[in-house]
Structure 1
């Protein structure tokens, strides 16, 4: 249904049929992204989101920013129900991607400078143009919004750990910190999620996406989010120099000269709030929603918080809060979130098979016996369509179909949750064998895709030895 809506809107906007549509990897949100190719392979991005208000806010902010010549996408068209829109495609290179591929290179440093310079323009120039009444959660990142972030950390991460603490004293100190940061003298448009994956790079220029969570707030928060992003792991020298550079950019745009000492002091507080907000988000997505990628991020986020607390002082008395921070950045807490992984001496081998129910479930010849058998026949069968009959679950058109038009993603997330319990237990107990089978009608499309994806997941997460077999391969339709 979503694909049909994209095709219809694209045709309405460009008066052309799209040549092809590719689903893009999903990020932490519920939004779905697609790259739509048209004439001459010119592409745009289709964004589908059931949250109509979130879409309306993004579109309104974008209109305001583009009117000021700021580096945000052009909007080509919007569906009548505001659930789908087509936007400019900046390509696939993000600042996060360059960091991963190039590390802390001179080129990456210059792009950080460009990002901060453009951020300052967006924050200060955009402040008088955006309609803050459209903000999704709060119009201002003041005392109440800051307190909300602290409580988010408390409920979704701290309380999960079960550490003993003085609840009332901690809440009182949260209140003190919220008042301190809520009184920032530099309040303008706050991007809210200004991190390297939301900065796209095209022809060595920077462009911003995903600012719909913005509100009125302290300038320092966005700089803190970028410079202290855990996965970026920026050197201290970079953080210090880039903060100085950012303050110079701000200084050239505001009416009164920036008090750099006061700016730095509040910057530290915003760094702390941001690091705790990230832990709260990882806790909610990982510990409560059971999303593996967010669980994997918790140890990295804890290391980042420890770097900060070991080298920075906020400047206000928060004894219970500081005690709690010391506990959660200790080695015992981090160990709780490190996944069990196989070593060279781990005997476990995971045997993964795809099969056809017409041929029967593969026999387990090990002494262990048992294991898992997952029936993929509840997933819509691409093999019934002529264009896919001679393809397999290893071909991209079939993979796109399964990801975009079926319940395969939900199915595999459930599979991963179940098999992870056994794999972790078997590694810790030195078991030698686990069999996992995926069956479908012909053993060619759904079961093959499921087996391949599960093998990849287990290798990446647990470093475990995997034997992957497609038992019906000799009978695939050619």
Structure 2
């Protein structure tokens, strides 16, 4: 610590006004925040491995020269065991996502935006960062290769698989491990593999932009690895939908730097690295949990097992013995209990496809409306003139959708159509040739279909749609009539039509 303060004093010309130790992560490095009399801060680092420190110092200077968002190393001791770097603040992406994570992966739009910003920046680190990089400075090795893959797979075997006491054939498993390692390293790559790309290693600056730290374990390697590492982190609880969105963001950002493979090839390669990363993580959890008895890692095993279970359901991996063994692994009693627990709500109800709503356990049991299960559904569709007001709802439900047709081309402006309505062939031909009303109704149909389907599921009895235009004669009549026919044709439900200003009522009977 004394030597670190000397380095700070030598760099700034004054002793620090305050020194605060920062909580460390998984490494043996120690971090301190130095503050001067004006409140300006710098981070001081003390490491135990010169080679590891050298890798970070070299990579940081290299990335900073390429204008990548990383901390800048501003001073280094002669032995490279201590150095100073710019302060990126106190908020990591992991901290910023805390509420969404604690809510079981129910991330807000702002939290999702942070994730998308981060994943869009990753290809720049990987592709731009690799330009001119001297890989010999990487620690502990310059490149991702078969030996490193086999090391991690055997780490999984000895630290997680064997402690479960599952019976398996070591030679057959080893043969599949070698096939797996060969496939993972089959494609040549010139990208920077971050290796420890996770939310804790991303800092959010005051402008809300991601900056990257702790990349000292990086090396030359496939870009799929970091994407898999980030999105399938067991504790992050990203939904399938959110993962798909983030993979899409990454894939499109990657196009800015390289000629990307086809989507199918990309997804197939990514799935291999997701499986590898999952086994790698289970190996680490096994060692830290089963052997070192650290509660956090033991508690993290269920989420990793769930990731593995979902992967095996894809049934796409060409390693028959290894996959068969993993399928037996997730059926062990301790892991089956994990699956049952994850599928049960806090009120004891099983969540399955027969439920209308798939509640989150934190929501507790749902209450239901007195109108549930009364059915059958009857839909009422109105056309009207805005000059005479929106139709009243006589059902007591307060009314439903009201659509404004006045943005579309009006046949009523043309003499041949002034005495006709939206039910007459010349008006229908005019509207459909023009096409605006068809585009308008495409969106209406999507909303109406979703609403009708849910009301039918719940057994509700009444739903109302109203279409208004200037005179309630052309566009609104056409739209109301076509929605009514669409719903009756598609769902076979009773639809009552009221063209209010035309004095026309009709019923499309239920089938």
The question of a shared fold, defined as TM-score above 0.5 by the shorter chain, is answered with: yes
CA contact (8 A) 1:142 1:183 kept: no
TM, length-normalised to structure 2: 0.62
The equivalent position to 1:289 in structure 2, one of 283, 287, 292, is: 292
The equivalent position to 1:14 in structure 2, one of 12, 15, 32, is: 12
> Take 1:325 and 1:139, find their aligned partners in 2: how far apart are those partners?
31
The residue number in structure 2 matching 1:323 is 324
Residues 257/292 of structure 1: CA separation in 2 closer, same or farther (3 Å cut): closer
CA contact (8 A) 2:232 2:274 kept: yes
CA contact (8 A) 2:195 2:217 kept: yes
Shift of residue 269 of structure 1? Answer: 0.5
Residues 44/308 of structure 1: CA separation in 2 closer, same or farther (3 Å cut): farther
- Determine which structure has greater relative contact order: mean sequence separation of CA pairs < 8 Å that are 6+ residues apart, divided by chain length: 1
CA contact (8 A) 1:18 1:36 kept: yes
1:207 to 2:211 alignment: yes
The residue number in structure 2 matching 1:365 is none
> Take 1:302 and 1:290, find their aligned partners in 2: how far apart are those partners?
18
Shift of residue 32 of structure 1? Answer: 1.5
> Take 1:45 and 1:297, find their aligned partners in 2: how far apart are those partners?
31
1:74 to 2:72 alignment: yes
The residue number in structure 2 matching 1:25 is 23
Paired residue secondary structure (1:39)? coil
Q: 1:78-477 alignment to 2 at 5 Å?
A: 78-103=76-101, 104-202=107-205, 203-254=207-258, 256-310=259-313, 312-316=314-318, 318-330=319-331, 332-334=333-335
Unaligned runs of 5+ in 2: 102-106, 340-511
| 1:312-334 residue CA offsets vs partner (Å, 9 max, x unmatched) | 33441x22211222233336234
Shift of residue 257 of structure 1? Answer: 4.1
The worse-fitting range, judged by mean Cα deviation, of 96-105 and 166-175 is 96-105
Larger Rg: 2
Residues 159/66 of structure 1: CA separation in 2 closer, same or farther (3 Å cut): same
| 1:224-274 residue CA offsets vs partner (Å, 9 max, x unmatched) | 1111111111111111121111111111211x3432211110100001111
| 1:74-125 residue CA offsets vs partner (Å, 9 max, x unmatched) | 1121122211111111111111111112451111222222212211011111
CA contact (8 A) 2:42 2:87 kept: yes
Paired residue secondary structure (1:244)? helix
Paired residue secondary structure (1:82)? coil
Residues 10/337 of structure 1: CA separation in 2 closer, same or farther (3 Å cut): farther
> Take 1:107 and 1:164, find their aligned partners in 2: how far apart are those partners?
47
Paired residue secondary structure (1:87)? strand
Residues 134/107 of structure 1: CA separation in 2 closer, same or farther (3 Å cut): same
The equivalent position to 2:39 in structure 1, one of 38, 41, 44, is: 41
> Take 1:286 and 1:79, find their aligned partners in 2: how far apart are those partners?
37
